Amino acid sequence: MRAPDREPAPDWQSFSLLLVEDDRGDAVLVEDLIADAVADIEVVWAQSMAHAERELASARPDCVLLDLNLPDANGIDALDRIAKRDATVPIVVLTGLNDEYFGASAVAAGAQDYLVKGRVEPEMLRRALLYAIERKRAELISADLRASELRARENALLERGLLPSPLLLDDPGVDIVARYRPTRENALLCGDFYDVVQTPDRVTHVLIGDVAGHGPDEAALGAALRIAWRTLTFAGIDGADRMPQLERLLHAERTEKGVFATVLSLEIPPDGARITAVRAGHPGMLLHGADTVEWVEPPFGPALGLHADAWPQHEIELPAGHGLLLLTDGLFEGYSGRGSQRLGEDGLLALARRHAALPGSAFVDALIDGAEERARALGGLTDDIAVVRVQRTKR
């Protein structure tokens, strides 16, 4: 829409105005001013607040021109009643010559502008209406942005609170290196999860898992499984006995049938070379020594969510000076650097052996960086990643 020989107005296909005015003479005067000021405008006249409320219930106008002195509403009450019907509609108020202060009060209370009867010219009216619409639009966009920023901050705080912090005793006798990377943009939490806790008997319990999928529902389910595992561990439920309880929780919390999760759980006693592993459909581990890396795959049962009723519990050796690196499949499902070929477990093992001489933290970072570098030509790693390396230390 464009007013002839005047500044261009916003390009609305239709411009509608609800005029709320009880005096027929004033209403005709305003309609004449509008006809002179704005082309292609539809004006609906409401003679009372009740009439205006019925019109707002049936259709949203682009703007409301509101008399503050109506037979069934007066002053700020009239403004409030319009706003309660539709808080998004811009309002320009009309005041009498002796009530100009009411106009300023109305603007302070939420109106976009005010006009004084008897002092309104066509150009003034046109600008007031169109600028009111733009100011309200900017106000709503700003409010949405503030709300989005607040939600983002709240979500970030919640996700940060759900991220695990290893819960170890003083002088724990283990060294932990953990890395965690969601693929969701701006996310702190993903469907991959891990945890490390130490019980009063100085046994170190390590968990890593992966919920199928990458969205917020999967992230929430992963957090629920991790917290449940920690709770069960401190309640004295060890080894494979935790798996049925985790599967029950997964069935209760998942948002869709068919969602499953893989899990690998270790129990590392303070002394001795033997540790206990329970694997539910999860990938194996890397055994990292001073100059060697081997792939370790304990016997495993089905992933959680597939209605299993038993998971094998297996003992493996953790030699002195060696660390076990638990990982999720996002680390090896990226591209290998050779066309569309995937890195795979064999490629990851070869990459790990190139960096075997590095100490724990540097070894983990080199492994992730190497996998990322190989996949970079085809967009980099596209799956969530969790990595935990655990090694006994001398106490």
Residues 307-346 have pLDDT tens digits of 888 899 999 999 999 999 999 999 999 888 888 899 999 9
What proportion of the chain, given as a percentage, has pLDDT over 70? 90
Q: For residue 370, what are the CA distances in angstroms to 37, 57, 132, 266, 336? A: 68, 61, 57, 26, 10
Pick one of 3.50.50.60, 3.60.40.10, 3.40.50.1970, 3.40.50.300 as the CATH number of 164-392. Answer: 3.60.40.10
Q: 8 vs 80, which has greater pLDDT?
A: 80
**Residues 202, 395: Cα–Cα separation, whole Å:** 12
| DSSP notation for 203-257 | -EEEEEEEESS-SHHHHHHHHHHHHHHHHHHHTT--GGGHHHHHHHHHHHH-SST
Determine if residue 47 is left, alpha or beta; phi over 0 gives left, psi from -120 to 50 gives alpha, anything else beta.
alpha
| DSSP notation for 70-116 | ETTEETHHHHHHHHHH-TTS-EEEEE-TT-HHHHHHHHHTT-SEEEE
**Residues 15, 2: Cα–Cα separation, whole Å:** 11
CA-CA-CA-CA dihedral for 363, 367, 369, 373, to nearest 10? 150
Q: For residue 129, what are the CA distances in angstroms to 9, 35, 125, 232? A: 10, 13, 6, 64
**Of 244, 250, 177, 166, nearest to 213 (Cα)?**
250
Residue 5 predicted with pLDDT over 50: no
Q: What is the pLDDT of residues 337-373, one digit of tens each?
A: 888 899 999 999 999 999 999 999 999 999 999 999 9
* Residue at 208: amino acid letter: I
Q: Work out the average pLDDT over 112-129.
A: 85
Q: Work out the average pLDDT over 102-118.
A: 85
| Maximum average pLDDT range among 12-16, 36-40, 144-148, 329-333 | 329-333
pLDDT score at 39: 66
Residue 280 predicted with pLDDT over 90: yes
| Two structure tokens written together for 301 | 């049962």
**Of 353, 208, 203, nearest to 286 (Cα)?**
353
Residue 231 predicted with pLDDT over 70: yes
Q: What is the pLDDT of residues 188-214, one digit of tens each?
A: 667 889 999 999 999 999 999 999 887
Give domain limits for the chain.
15-145, 164-392
**Residues 87, 73: Cα–Cα separation, whole Å:** 18
Question: What crossing angle do the helices spanning 216-234 and 242-253 adopt, rounded to 10°?
Answer: 150
Are 15-145 and 164-392 equal in CATH topology? Answer: no
Q: Work out the average pLDDT over 229-239.
A: 94
How much is the pTM? 0.65
CB 388 within 8 A of CB 206: yes
Q: What is the pLDDT of residues 237-262, one digit of tens each?
A: 988 999 999 999 999 999 888 899 99
Q: 92 vs 38, which has greater pLDDT?
A: 92
Annotate 19-34 with b (16+ C-beta within 10 A) or e (fewer): bbbbeeebbeebbebb
pLDDT score at 13: 45
Question: Residue 124's pLDDT band (boundaries 50, 70, 90)?
Answer: confident
Pick one of 3.40.190.80, 3.90.1310.10, 3.40.50.2300, 3.90.226.10 as the CATH number of 15-145. Answer: 3.40.50.2300
Burial of 314 (0-12, 13-18, 19+ CB in 10 A): middle
pLDDT score at 94: 87
pLDDT score at 138: 87
